[in-house]
Amino acid sequence: MDEGYEKETFAGLRIKISVALKFRSFSKRQGKSQSMTLLAMVEFFDHNGISPDQRMYETIASLKYLIKRRFNAMVAIMRSIEKEQTLPTVSMIQALFQQELEPEEVDEWEGDFDFFEQQLTEKKAPSNPELLDTEVHIPKILHEHLKEEMEELKRDFGYVLDHVSLVKNRLGKDYLKLDLDYEAIERYQQKIKNL
């Protein structure tokens, strides 16, 4: 019996026979009485504000997947903007400020300027390349950022390794099984692509 509607009487509706047969089979598939199935259908259309005449062409699950993909794409774009525009700009500005704050060291170099002039005019390789060596400086901010990324990669890799288990196969070789859901794997793949 229908819960909450036990005392109500039945009313007859005039429905075409083919439509009534479809509705009865639909009610059986739902596992509800015809009254409760019809009530659920009416409440569904009222609650979602759609008309039965409209076609959605997509299932709700596919729409959720599409929204999720677009959201992931938006996150990837934001991370790309942060990585390629914001962080380098901030590190350059901080490096400039750091250089202005540091006192300039007066370094009196008494080298042979004729040697450099000769090296610039000649086409052959320099005979004393030690004088032309320069040091490569990495800004401290960039170094710290790279260290943070490395630590994050170590944590992620450790997490993945913790979810790997050995499966013993009686008929063939043993193999490794990864016990992660597909979303986590996609997240790690996206993170590696963004590096």
Length of the chain: 195
User: Does the pLDDT value for residue 18 go beyond 90?
Assistant: yes
Nearest to 91 by CA among 150, 148, 152, 153: 148
Instruction: State residue 16's pLDDT score.
Output: 92
Q: Are 167 and 178 in contact (CB under 8 A)?
A: no
- Residue range 25-72, pLDDT digits in tens: 998 998 888 888 998 888 888 887 777 777 666 677 777 888 888 888
- Residue range 163-172, pLDDT digits in tens: 888 888 888 7
Which tokens belong to 192?
Answer: 């590696």
Instruction: Share the mean pLDDT of the chain.
Output: 77
- Residue range 118-149, pLDDT digits in tens: 555 555 555 555 555 555 566 777 777 788 88
Determine if residue 57 is left, alpha or beta; phi over 0 gives left, psi from -120 to 50 gives alpha, anything else beta.
left
